Structure 1
Amino acid sequence: MTDRKYDLLTAEDIDEGRATAAYFLRTEEILEDVGADPEVVAELSAPEGWNLIAGLEDLARLLEGVPVDVCAPPEGAPISGGPVLRIEGPYRAFGRYESSILGFLAHASGIASAAWRVRAAAGDRTVLSFGTRRQHPALGAMIERSALVGGADGIGNVGGGETIGVEAGGTMPHALAIVLGSSEAAWSAFDDALGPDVPRVMLCDTFDDEAEEVRRALGTLGEALEGVRLDTTGSRRGDMRAIVEDVRWELRRHDSEDVDVLVSGGIDVPAIERLRDVADGFGVGGAIADADPIDFSLNVVEVDGDARTKRGVKPGAKTVYREDYEDTVVERDETAPGRELLEPLLEGGEIVRSFDLDDARERARAAIEPLSDRGVFDRER
């Protein structure tokens, strides 16, 4: 036991390789005892099916200073099966980090991939990441960054945003109206207290029918009202499309069709597909933040130049060439049509790549149309 306030591993724990399975440290001890430290090639393999890769900056910082070479796709690149990471170096230099390597990439890639599917469904509608409260608070920055890589337009977690250099936003909770006693009091207090840089998007479903609260919000804020958020709980929602259409009707009646309608609360891909022609944007929580990690596996495939691995894995160092989103896996010294997907990330433990969030986001978005044409985002009905 330690005297730590929370059940958290620190950056020091991770950097020193203690965030690992015990058998990796025992393996290290055994290899040291027998005087073995072979040069190996290890590959991270992805399951079949298209996903995004994310978490590479954390991985690079973990292995910075470790005498290894690492190749990987650029962040935000779609991946589908085959090797998506190659590590070369003395086994004892990086073996203890296997758990952290997998964790950094699997969790971030899972969230980015979920956000990518949400973005594909939403088209040009606004997508906001609202789900960090469903996860451990220490993960806020990773979740929000991964959501942005996948296609979210904005985030809600303040600390997470500060960590990654992106300003968080939001509207108001039901608690504000409940504490102040009425929605009108909450809307007025919001408008009076916050500066003009904060969008006037008001929650309109705390006490009464959504269309009725929207009518009253218009009466309270007038032309200052920029948007309304509908967050009706699933237990009493009914037909959410009909609710949004009622709100739209009310906005038209009051010559306020330019007021945006944002829908949140249990929003997932099917809900977005049903509402995207009537809603201007979506606040998405669990459908992004609760995403399953990608089931990556890391395997040694070559030892001191000898192609050697476990059953069920192809031995030898490999690479991937991509042409029009058709991937070909070949031995590392071979070539195939297209460009090589695995690019240098670290050389001799030195990071040789920059990490630009906007570039990663653009890379992920640019892949949606061509992969949509291939049916990648089609759901089983």
Structure 2
Amino acid sequence: MDGDAEDEDENPFDTLSPGAILDGTATDAYFDRTEATLEHAGRNPDVTVEVTADQFPTGEFEVFAGVEDVANLLSGLAVDVRAIEEGRLFDGGPVMRIEGPYLEFARYETSILGFLSQASAFATAALEVRRAAPDSQVLSFGARHLHPMLAPIVERTALVAGLDGFSHVAAGEVIGREAGGTMPHALIICYGRGNQEEAWRAFDEAVAADVPRVALCDTFSDEVDETLRAAETLGDDLDSVRIDTTSSRRGDFRQILREVRWALDERGHEDVGIFASGGLGPDDLRELRDVCEGFGVGSAITSADPIDFALDIVAIEGEPIAKRGKLAGVKEVYRTPDGGHHVGLAKREPPEKGEALLKPLIEDGEIVREFDIDASRERTRADAEDVR
């Protein structure tokens, strides 16, 4: 570890401080050099820049997220910003437009793109998971696959995309929601082989009454055996069993879960649900959703490839301009009543009954939008039903 670990004010981890993002040092070196060059030349044009992934619609919709962080980053600067609302689906064209003196925000390009690329990727992957099992309880279990600094991002975007909860405690404190979860294999193992009943009973006695009693039932023996033992131990207090069988021992996972369901029903435990986890993705959820009440999903969300947003100047002093291969001029994106996504020049007539998606975010340096997880979640739900 570099530096003096005894200094309480020193960050012991390889992470940036919020100050580094806010002061613009969380940037690529060429923006420092660009800033130095323009300042030396006394040049600071008024520009319009747009953030885009694809210039034209491709038929592949993605979920827009990360916009609150961008708003907080640019707040107080001499800029006006319009952006798609968090949770809306987009397909080509700009998701954000920034207008102002270039040097006012040039150093922030790296962070802007990072905020949007990662969060939108998580939200898009989480929506695919949600669509795979629309009627099941689905929780985000993916924080362990990420740097801890990113946990609030993945858990917030999971909620925006429609998932029912998440597991990370500190992330919950950041976003104002309570984390949930069951029990790990470590708890069962701490009681030793053959003593699973003691572990389940201790959990039942220790945790708060409002915590669902979900017994992990695949640690030492057959899933059916442990499930029936848990049901006998906890009786009517047992809400669900979680099956998290290691993939190398899983075989036909659907068949295992069907056997568990059969055994529960045959012993009169029809009210006990089954919760499955362990490297599951959308295809697994589609296959298993009729035999499980719920799922924990992790890497299917956290392994999502970042969305390849780019930030490009499209006008200088009001005149259209762009680098080769990009589209010059200020653009607008529209959603039509049939769910279509349209991209066009802002000065042209919009499509009939088209809703302009780029809405005010910052005006004269002030944030003019509120951010609410539930409102964003509703936008995602509505767009997921409507887009074509």
TM-score normalized by the length of structure 1: 0.96
Listed as ranges, the gaps of 5+ residues in structure 2 are 4-9
Deviation for aligned residue 1:139 = 1.1
Q: Does 1:360 align with 2:367?
A: no
Contact 2:92 2:343 in 1 (8 A): no
Aligned counterpart, 1:347:
363
Task: Give the residue type in structure 2 aligned to 1:39.
Answer: D
Match of residue 74, structure 2, among 63, 79, 85: 63
**Equivalent-residue separation in structure 2 for 1:193 and 1:176 (angstroms):** 12
Matched positions, count: 372
Aligned counterpart, 1:317:
330
Q: Does 1:26 align with 2:26?
A: no
Aligned counterpart, 2:299:
286
Deviation for aligned residue 1:333 = 2.3
- Partner SS for 1:367: helix
**Equivalent-residue separation in structure 1 for 2:138 and 2:378 (angstroms):** 15
- My pick for the range that moved more, 231-240 or 320-329, is 320-329
Task: Give the residue type in structure 1 aligned to 2:79.
Answer: V
Deviations 1:231-255 (A, max 9, x none): 0011110111001100100110121
**Equivalent-residue separation in structure 1 for 2:278 and 2:150 (angstroms):** 21
Superposed, 1:8-47 pairs within 5 Å as: 8-47=15-54
Contact 1:73 1:341 in 2 (8 A): yes
Contact 2:89 2:384 in 1 (8 A): no
Q: Does 1:369 align with 2:357?
A: no
Match of residue 238, structure 1, among 237, 245, 251: 251
Contact 1:46 1:79 in 2 (8 A): no
**Equivalent-residue separation in structure 1 for 2:239 and 2:207 (angstroms):** 14
Task: Give the residue type in structure 2 aligned to 1:314.
Answer: L
Deviation for aligned residue 1:330 = 1.8
**Equivalent-residue separation in structure 2 for 1:366 and 1:121 (angstroms):** 16
Deviation for aligned residue 1:91 = 0.3
Contact 1:52 1:364 in 2 (8 A): yes
Listed as ranges, the gaps of 5+ residues in structure 1 are 375-381
**Equivalent-residue separation in structure 1 for 2:241 and 2:61 (angstroms):** 35
**Equivalent-residue separation in structure 2 for 1:139 and 1:26 (angstroms):** 29
**Equivalent-residue separation in structure 1 for 2:22 and 2:384 (angstroms):** 36
Moved over 4 A (4+): none
Q: Does 1:74 align with 2:74?
A: no
CA RMSD in angstroms comes to 1.1
Aligned counterpart, 2:242:
229
- Partner SS for 1:232: coil
Deviations 1:275-318 (A, max 9, x none): 01111111001001221111111101111111111011110111
TM-score normalized by the length of structure 2: 0.94
Identity of aligned residues (%): 53
Aligned counterpart, 2:163:
152
Contact 2:238 2:272 in 1 (8 A): yes
